[in-house]
Amino acid sequence: MIIFPAIDLKEGQCVRLIEGRMDSATVYSHDPGSTARAWEEQGAEFIHVVDLDGAFAGQPRNRESIIQIVQAVRVPVQVGGGVRDLETVADLLAIGVNRVILGSAAILNPDMVAEACQRYGDRVLVGIDARDGMVAIQGWGETVQRTAQDLALEVKSMGITRIVFTDIRRDGKLSGPNLAATGELARASGLKVIASGGVSSLEDIQAVKDLESDGVEGAIMGKALYAGAVKLPDALVIARGEG
């Protein structure tokens, strides 16, 4: 299982939010490149980046910070937040991003998602963010009448093989991930699933790892790492089955 340290970008700074609310931002670093390098030095195999300003604006707002991160590390980087067109996908891949995450576009422009899959294969993921089981888009500001499971099956038909699933109610609150919903989504969709939202302890990491046979292949960690509740090397021991 892969542990993805998260770098959430707001105005060029590394922050964490609670339930995606921009007014709840806590700044952890003013240097995204150094933050990414620190995670790599602690053993990270993949970095997860979210352009928060981009998610709300509908187009990337932290491109320079993303370039800093990509250039600072040797491990692959995946990026989401405000990616709504093929030009943005192509640009992110061109600057060295390994995988691009499409979120709201899966609802607003499914034809673009299908085209991105056709062009770039598994370098394109879909992020499915749910509040009480229903999909939220536009920086989590709008909830649509579509369940996470329905959307997962739809994007699978477009060619998507991997999704990031976030339970918004758990995000940034250190309250534990929604294991039941994550496992159910993986089993029902047959997609590879990366769990996000609320992973806050070594016990949580073990619980997510226990879902590997269902198709859950990773966990994104943010606040727990930044707050020191979990040390990345300890998390990696469990994720690799060495504990």
Would you say 83 and 108 are in contact if contact means Cβ atoms under 8 Å apart?
no
All structural domains of the chain, each given as residue ranges with its CATH number in brackets, are 2-237 (3.20.20.70)
Average pLDDT over residues 38-43: 98
Proportion of the chain above pLDDT 70, given as a percent: 97
What pLDDT sits at residue 66? 98
pLDDT at 77: 98
As a whole number, mean pLDDT of residues 206-216 equals 98
DSSP character string of 84-128: -SHHHHHHHHHTT-SEEEE-THHHH-HHHHHHHHHHHGGGEEEEE
Which range is least confidently modeled, 29-43, 66-80, 169-183? Answer: 169-183
The type of residue at 195 is A
Residues serving a catalytic function are: 8, 129
**Local structure of 55: helix, strand or coil:** helix
Residue scoring higher pLDDT (32 or 16): 32
Strand 134-137 and strand 142-147: the pairing is antiparallel
pLDDT at 202 over 70: yes
Q: CA angle at residue 145 from 177 to 154, to 5 degrees?
A: 75
Question: What pairing do the DSSP bridges indicate for beta strands 47-51 and 21-29?
Answer: unpaired
Distance CA(243)–CA(112), nearest Å, equals: 42
How far apart (Å, rounded) are the C-alpha atoms in residues 168 and 197? 7
- Among 148, 226, 150, 163, which Cα is nearest to 195's? 163
Helix (H) or strand (E) holding 216: strand 216-221
Q: Sorting pLDDT into bands at 50, 70 and 90, what band is 16?
A: confident
pLDDT tens digits for range 180-193: 999 999 999 999 99
Q: Which two tokens stand for residue 200?
A: 């806050």
Asked whether residue 108 carries a pLDDT value surpassing 90, the answer given is yes
User: What is the per-residue pLDDT for 243?
Assistant: 67
Q: What is the pTM of this model?
A: 0.94
Quote the pLDDT of residue 23.
79
Enter the tokens of residue 11: 């105005």
| The pLDDT value given to residue 22 | 80
Alpha-carbon distance of 243 to 239, in angstroms, equals 8
How does residue 175 score in pLDDT terms, banded at 50, 70 and 90?
Answer: confident
Q: Tell me what pLDDT residue 173 has.
A: 61
